[in-house]
Amino acid sequence: MRVDQLLAEGLTRSFEFFPPKSDEESAVLDETLRELEPLKASFVSVTYRGGTASRQRTFDLVTTIQREARTSAMAHLICVGHSRAEMRELLTRYAQAGVENVMALGGDAPEDPALARSEFEYASELVELARDVGEFSVGVGAHPLGHPRSRDLVSDRRFLAAKLALADFAVTQFFFRASDYFDLVAQLGELGVTKPVIPGVMPVTTLAGITRMATMGAAVPRELATRLENAHQRGGLGEVRAEGIRAATQLCEELLSRGVPGLHFYTLNRSTATREIHGALFGTG
């Protein structure tokens, strides 16, 4: 089903994966997909970092999931490194394969500057192209703390509102305070945007993750970092992981209590943490 239709029916639960680069990674992902299948996700999304090889890996994974009817699949698309002709061809292939859902993103700058060329300046242009090519349900990204390249939060919200006006829904970058999400939704509402914004969740399960999350776009708040550090003093690595799962579960509980349209779990192609959180929230997993 289309993601916009799923959202219209009620709360969605979705998982995000990245395409494997090796036989070993493929085996891990296959196991993860089997372990998460009983949770009956509303849809899953598959990331894409750019380049011909990554483009094909994402296409293969999305269409395999769709073909095997495991669940509805959503393909990530990025502006960086693409001509309009290339992206039109890719969208056409997705439409022909029966894929109805795409996520239009700006994309990260590649390490090789030669791969950074693009005929798209903003993700909104990618949304418009998807509309022109097929009957897709189109999502866009949202950053509760503001996009790293935004000049300020005011302009960030203005650009996001314009982008969401063209799209069907948004999925946020992960965050760690429920207030950050609800502030974002309220600010969009003040700009006249009421499209669904699905909160993205990723637990911090290691002390190293405190630093890593900041490089991935969302700094861990001091109170959560202290909570994890205290857990390490109490019981070592295992207690840090358990505390991180508890913190993420509590975040989800607060989000659900205030009527979010769905929960989107960043899995990193592993199932255990997602299953534990999902089980605590919904009694399964």
Q: Which of 9, 16, 119, 128 is catalytic?
A: 16
Instruction: Let me know if 16 is a catalytic residue.
Output: yes
pTM over 0.85: yes
What integer pLDDT is reported at residue 121 of this predicted model? 83
Tokens of 113: 């500057």
Q: Spell out the per-residue pLDDT of the chain, length 285, in tens.
A: 899 999 999 999 999 999 998 889 999 999 999 999 999 999 999 998 767 777 888 999 999 998 887 789 999 998 887 889 999 999 999 999 999 999 999 876 555 555 557 788 889 999 999 999 999 999 999 999 998 888 899 999 999 999 999 999 999 999 999 999 999 999 999 999 999 999 999 999 999 999 999 888 789 999 999 999 999 999 999 999 999 999 999 999 999 999 999 999 999 999 999 999 999 999 865
CA distance 280 to 275: 8
Work out whether the CA dihedral 152, 75, 130, 139 comes out positive or negative.
Answer: negative
DSSP structural state of residue 212: H
**Domain total of the chain:** 1
Main-chain dihedrals φ then ψ at residue 137, nearest 5 degrees: -90, 125
Helices 123-133 and 153-166, interaxial angle, to 10°? Answer: 0
What integer pLDDT is reported at residue 79 of this predicted model? 85
Q: Which domain holds residue 75?
A: 3-282
What integer pLDDT is reported at residue 272 of this predicted model? 95
CATH assignment of the domain containing 61: 3.20.20.220
Q: Report in angstroms the alpha-carbon separations of 160 from 35, 121, 172, 184.
A: 35, 14, 11, 10
CA distance 118 to 262: 32
